[in-house]
Each structure stands twice: as structure tokens, then as C-alpha cells.
Structure 1
Amino acid sequence: MNDYPILYSFRRCPYAIRARMALAYASVPVELREVLLKDKPRPMLEASPKGTVPVLILNDGSVIDESIDVMHWALNQNDPEHWVTEKSSHDRDALVTENDGSFKTCLDRYKYADRHPEHPAHHYREEACRFLQELESRLADSPWLSGKEKGFADIAVFPFIRQFAGVDRAWFDQSPYPHLRHWLNDLLGHPLFQAVMAKHTPWKPGQARVVFPGSQ
């Protein structure tokens, strides 16, 4: 039996980023296995045949292969700043559902507009801006999506806004979303994000393990 849960991850994947951020925040050590999405390791596919990251294999052999579920699992182990509260659960879940649903669809079409020639890239960007405006309105009233303190929704949504901003940073930097830009920049500079973005070589069987967060 492995003494740490095993996490298959890909550094730039927004789903994997939010899972790693939750694990790091909760100070839950895992054996990190960085993968190449074009060459997924067999043990990962055996654990989760759908072939997406993150994949968390617990010590008892059970598998968690949805990023939101990994976040919940990590925070169930330790939630020192109370990111998850019953009071905010309905609002939080609705926001994350919109992020992972309609916004993610628009984001993918915007980022890979050449694969969706039915419309130009700016059409998909304009559709995505409906969600950006919702976030902007929230952030005009409080510094975080969760209120006065950052919480679950901020970490769940942040990697996707980071990806959106990176498609055309010049456009994003002059877009009518100043509160959203400030929020994004705060999280980009946060030590928690910096810690989870360390680069690792792709995992291969037999190599020295990487314990995340930190080293053992």
C-alpha cells in the first residue's frame, strides 16, 4: 500500500490546477505524477479510463477523477480558512456549475476558434463575457467571489479565467472588467498558486517520487 495518495496531474490544465491548489491549501501530501496528455501512463488509464486529469488514487485504492470532488476531498481533510461553509454552498455551487458548463464551452471555442469555424473568435469571446460580467459585478461589491475572504469558488473558477485571459492578454488588459483583472492578478501572485505551478518532469515507473506539497 502506498503511504501517500497518488495524484496524476498536468501542470497547465485548469482542472488540475484547482485540485492542486486545494490539496496544497489543505496541506494534504500526495505523490505527484506529472503526465503528458499525448502519452498517458497505463496506471492512470487503468485507474480512470476516461483519461483526463486530475486523477487521485487514495490509499484504499478508491479513485477520485473529478477536480471538484478532489477539492471537496482535500477540504474535508483540512479547511483552516473555512473555504467551504454551508451558508455559501448554494451560491458557490451555482457559480462553479456555470463556470464548468457554459463558460468552459465558450472558452474552448474562443481558445481554439480554428476548430470552430462557424464563428470568428470574437463571437465566442463575446459569449464568454456574459460570465465575466457576472464575476465583475460580484467583485465590485467584495474582493472575492466568496465575500470578504477568498474561498472555494475563487479557487475553482480562477484557473479558467487565467486561461481565458491568456488567449488575448492585450484585449483582456483593456477590457471593461477592472475588478476581475485585480482579482486575477491577486491570485496569480498568490504564494499558493506559485507553489502549485512548479515544473516537474513527466512521471515514469521507477523514478524517484515527488511528494506534493513540499518534499519528504
Structure 2
Amino acid sequence: MTALPPVLYSFRRCPYAMRARLAIAASGIAVELREVVLRDKPAAMIQASPKATVPVLVLPDGTVIDESWDVMVWALSQADPECWWPKDRSVRSDIETLVASNDGSFKAALDRYKYPNRYENETISETQQRAIAADHLQPLDARLKRHEWLLGDRATLADYAILPFVRQFAHVDRGWFDAQPWPHLRGWLDRFLASERFASIMRKYPQWHPGDVETVFP
């Protein structure tokens, strides 16, 4: 009897879902991808994870993983052919520190910059929020001046956990972003956007409905 694959509820443009797909693709683990429309979330996803945000990974034994970072770590614990999640504890600590900064104050400022109408009671202006987010990017540019990736000459989980959010920030006002003094960060992002890896995880899929033919990813 063929084992059922894990099920991944995803949304193409969500940066959290992007990074989950990146890690799953890098691991080579096959999942059943269910593309979600956020205004019409499937009942099966909400039943699995009542917080109802993507990504949601449901393993064959019923285990639910509904945080993108945890999905990434799970995938690479199954297989990590490119060594994105090195076993060296000090390297893992560096990765976790960078990702925590991205997911914390950078993402908070990014949301308020990109979606100001969602934060009507916010006392800090949209322009100030952009400046707060930009303060997180300058140190990344300094790292990338020294080497091709955030932690050295090879990509790690830090790069692929953070790149989707830098992409989102850049696309709010790409002209402004390109005018900033971070050429190494810009090059890092542009290499990612031009890569087959990015193209492969951004293919369009129709909205999933119960009973649809299974979509295997990657």
C-alpha cells in the first residue's frame, strides 16, 4: 500500500508559505499541495489548524505543523542535501538569531509600511515604518558585502527564510528600494528572483477544492 504524502496548505504569494515551499523543495520530500484562496479558506485547513493561516502541513499520522519556520526545519530534518540547516550548533544559533529579527521587528514594520490601512491607530507613520524596516536591512547588506550569502559562501536556512520578506518589502516601492545604499542586498535578492529555484516554487495552481486531483509538489 502506497503511503499518503503530507498535505501542504499554501498560498502562492504569502512569504511564510514561500519559505515553507522552498525548504520542502530543497529537501526533495513530495507533498500534496493545496492552494488556498485567503478569502475562501477550506474547512479542512481550518479544522487542522484553527488559526487558519498558511502554511499548514498535515503529516500522514495526523500531526499538524502550522508555523512556517517549523515546516522548514521539519523538511530539512527529513533530508538536507544542500546543508541549509548545518548540524553545528553555533551556526544554527546564528541562523535562528537572523530569522528571529526578520520575523519580529522587521516583519512588524514591514506590515505597517505595506498595509497602513490595517493599522489605523498606529502613531508611527508609514515612512517611519519603512525606515525602521530599512534599519534591519543595512546589516544584511554588510554581511553580503563579505560573502555571497548571509553566513558565508553557501546558502543556509537563514537566506531562504528571509528572502521572501525582503522581496515583499522591495516590491512595495521598488524604485525607492533600488535607490538605497545596499547594492549587495539588492544583488542577493535579484539573484534569488532570477533563479530557477524561485520560479519553481512560484508556479500557479488553481484553488483547491475537496475531491480535486492531487497536486504533487515539488
* 1:46 partner letter: Q
Give the aligned partner of residue 190 of structure 2.
185
- The separation in 2 between residues aligned to 1:140 and 1:14, in whole angstroms, is 25
Give the aligned CA root-mean-square deviation in angstroms.
1.2
SS at match of 1:19: helix
SS at match of 2:50: coil
Give unmatched runs, 5+ long, in structure 1. Answer: none
Query: Which of these residues, 123, 132, 148, is aligned with residue 143 of structure 1?
Result: 148
Query: Which of these residues, 97, 108, 124, is aligned with residue 100 of structure 2?
Result: 97
Task: Indicate if the aligned counterparts of 2:26 and 2:82 stay in contact, CA closer than 8 A.
Answer: no
* 2:145 partner letter: A
**Post-superposition offset of 1:98:** 0.5
Task: Indicate if the aligned counterparts of 1:29 and 1:212 stay in contact, CA closer than 8 A.
Answer: yes
Give the aligned partner of residue 115 of structure 2.
112
Give the aligned partner of residue 43 of structure 1.
44
Give the TM-score normalised by the residue count of structure 1.
0.96
Structure 1: 4+ residue segments shifted above 6 A: none
Which segment drifts farther, 86-95 or 13-22? 86-95
SS at match of 1:128: helix
How many residues align structurally?
213
- The separation in 2 between residues aligned to 1:30 and 1:174, in whole angstroms, is 40
Give unmatched runs, 5+ long, in structure 2. Answer: none
List per-residue Cα deviations over 1:141-162 (Å, max 9, x = no partner).
1110121111100000000000
Task: Indicate if the aligned counterparts of 1:99 and 1:157 stay in contact, CA closer than 8 A.
Answer: yes
- The separation in 2 between residues aligned to 1:55 and 1:116, in whole angstroms, is 26
List per-residue Cα deviations over 1:130-176 (Å, max 9, x = no partner).
11111111111111012111110000000000000000000011111
Task: Indicate if the aligned counterparts of 1:4 and 1:31 stay in contact, CA closer than 8 A.
Answer: yes
Give the aligned partner of residue 72 of structure 2.
71
* 2:176 partner letter: W
